[in-house]
Amino acid sequence: MILTDSVSVSAVRRTTDGYLVADARVARTGIQEYLGSEVGKPDVPIIRVYRPPEAVFAEDAMRSYAYRPMTNDHHGDVNAGNWKQLAVGQTGSEVLRDGDFVRVPLVLMDAAAIRDYEAGKRELSMGLEATVVFEDGVTPDGQTYNARIESMRMNHLALVDRARGGEQLRIGDQRAPGVQPQAQDDPKGGHDMADALRKLLVDGLTIETTEQGAQAIEKLNKQLSDAQVNIKTLTDGHAAAMATKDAELAKKDAEIDSLKSKQLSDADIDKRVQERADLISTAKQIADGDYTGKSEAEIRKAAVVAKLGDAAVKDKADAYIAARFDILAEDAAEDPVRQHMRQQDGKPTNPADNGQTAYEQRLADAWKGESK
């Protein structure tokens, strides 16, 4: 994990080659605040990271301060592949403990970086790899923390306008032209924060906070805005789903009501059965036949065809066929003799003679034979 620190610079001088040489504090023990996103905890606004002396002044850590490339601002990991493009100087080899600080010599060799320094860009920020253990605890001097560093290895030292402490630090007792004097120095190498505060408008109220606090508030505001958008999306989706479900239920209710309206009562069934029986009886009066399984229109058509032939109904509408059926039904009802004769078709002409006629015919035939 790459972390950054902020330190002060002192004992500055220029060489005959134009380089800027200084002796600087580049690390310290104690609490430093990081955005959660900087240390792999994007859901946490601020993480208070404790750097214990045993990590800051460990032998491996102290050796790693020597011969580190210097950069103008941070550019991520600095290595052999990008050193030529990024380096503006380097640290020296005389790494010393200075109370709660680590002090190293450094040299700025790039003219543009030196001009930035002379214009007031004087804060230093270490880029380092660190093992961070996330745990709540309390430092020996009573400060609470959310994480602590177990081991450190320096990667580069950057010249920056403002690092983690806030405002730029003094160089000895002199400041760059145009830079206002600092009211008070933090004995730990921190800053007077009065000029480092930012004004923010939060829920209609103007507040002042540090750069890190402002970043945390802006991040939380964005998360709140995103959450509100998500809630509206979910609410709209739920309302649309409920509207669709209500429409489906209304359709089902309409179908049920329609089916109820179509359901026949016992009296309705009896009436329809009687009407069909009467229709079939009338059709049989017109032309006797099998009308089973036919609809009312088919029964009328079959009776008319049986009586008058196919030509009588060819290309005719159901209303016409129904009218012809009614006429034929009236005719059949007004001609009882014809109806009686139709009923007698196919029956024996004298069913009551009990074979008498046949007997007499046989006698007559026998007599004719004898006379010959």
Per-residue pLDDT tens digits for 273-289: 898 899 999 988 888 88
pLDDT at 137: 96
Largest CA distance in the chain: 180
Q: Mean of the pLDDT values across residues 189-208?
A: 53
Domain final residue pick, 263, 280, 298: 263
Q: Mean of the pLDDT values across residues 314-318?
A: 89
Residue 371, pLDDT > 80, answer no
pLDDT at 196: 45
Tally of structural domains, the chain: 3
pLDDT at 16: 93
pLDDT at 142: 95
Q: Is residue 145 part of a domain?
A: yes
C-alpha dihedral sign at 160, 163, 167, 170 = negative
β-pairing verdict for 46-51 and 123-138: unpaired
Give alpha helix (H) positions in 181-210: none
Cα–Cα distance for residue pair 246/239, rounded to 1 Å: 10
Q: Is residue 361 part of a domain?
A: no
For residues 70 and 110, membership in a common domain is answered with yes
Domain final residue pick, 263, 280, 299: 263
Residue 318, pLDDT > 80, answer yes
pLDDT at 26: 81
C-alpha dihedral sign at 267, 272, 273, 277 = positive
Side-chain-side CA neighbours of 57 within 13 Å: the count stands at: 14
Which of the four pLDDT bands, split at 50, 70 and 90, describes residue 170?
very low
CB 153 within 8 A of CB 128: yes
Which of the four pLDDT bands, split at 50, 70 and 90, describes residue 60?
very high
Which of the four pLDDT bands, split at 50, 70 and 90, describes residue 360?
confident
Q: Is residue 192 part of a domain?
A: no
Q: Is residue 277 part of a domain?
A: yes
Residue 168, pLDDT > 50, answer no
CB 286 within 8 A of CB 328: yes
Which of the four pLDDT bands, split at 50, 70 and 90, describes residue 141?
very high
For residues 274 and 237, membership in a common domain is answered with no
For residues 32 and 109, membership in a common domain is answered with yes
Q: Flag whether the pTM goes above 0.85.
A: no
* Two structure tokens written together for 112: 């543009």
Q: Is residue 355 part of a domain?
A: no
Cα–Cα distance for residue pair 290/340, rounded to 1 Å: 20
Residue 194, pLDDT > 50, answer no
The least confident of 122-131, 172-181, 211-220, 347-356 is 172-181
For residues 46 and 103, membership in a common domain is answered with yes
Q: Is residue 174 part of a domain?
A: no
Domain final residue pick, 263, 281, 298: 263
For residues 147 and 218, membership in a common domain is answered with no
For residues 19 and 127, membership in a common domain is answered with yes
Q: How many helices (H) and strands (E) does the chain have?
A: 10, 13
Q: Mean of the pLDDT values across residues 120-145?
A: 90
Q: Is residue 7 part of a domain?
A: yes
Q: Mean of the pLDDT values across residues 67-71?
A: 95
For residues 114 and 259, membership in a common domain is answered with no
For residues 49 and 133, membership in a common domain is answered with yes
- pLDDT, tens digit (0-9, with 9 covering 90-100), for 234-282: 888 888 998 998 889 988 888 887 787 777 778 888 888 898 899 999 9
- Tell me which of 245 and 184 has the higher pLDDT: 245
For residues 233 and 273, membership in a common domain is answered with no
Which helix (H) or strand (E) is 303 found in, with range?
A: helix 296-308
For residues 243 and 296, membership in a common domain is answered with no
Q: Mean of the pLDDT values across residues 156-160?
A: 87
pLDDT at 67: 96
User: Which range of residues forms the domain containing residue 317?
Assistant: 266-345
pLDDT at 70: 93
Residue with tokens 């007499």: 360
pLDDT at 320: 92
Please report, rounded to a whole number, the percentage of residues in the chain having pLDDT higher than 90.
Answer: 29
Residue with tokens 């993480």: 47
Q: Mean of the pLDDT values across residues 202-227?
A: 72
Which of the four pLDDT bands, split at 50, 70 and 90, describes residue 178?
very low
For residues 125 and 46, membership in a common domain is answered with yes
Cα–Cα distance for residue pair 70/90, rounded to 1 Å: 5
Q: Is residue 327 part of a domain?
A: yes
Question: Phi and psi at residue 123, in whole multiples of 5°?
Answer: -90, 150
User: What is the residue-averaged pLDDT of the chain?
Assistant: 79
pLDDT at 345: 56
Residue 169, pLDDT > 50, answer no
Cα–Cα distance for residue pair 98/64, rounded to 1 Å: 16
For residues 109 and 232, membership in a common domain is answered with no
- Tell me which of 351 and 269 has the higher pLDDT: 269
Short-list 24, 33, 70, 77, CA closest to 51: 33
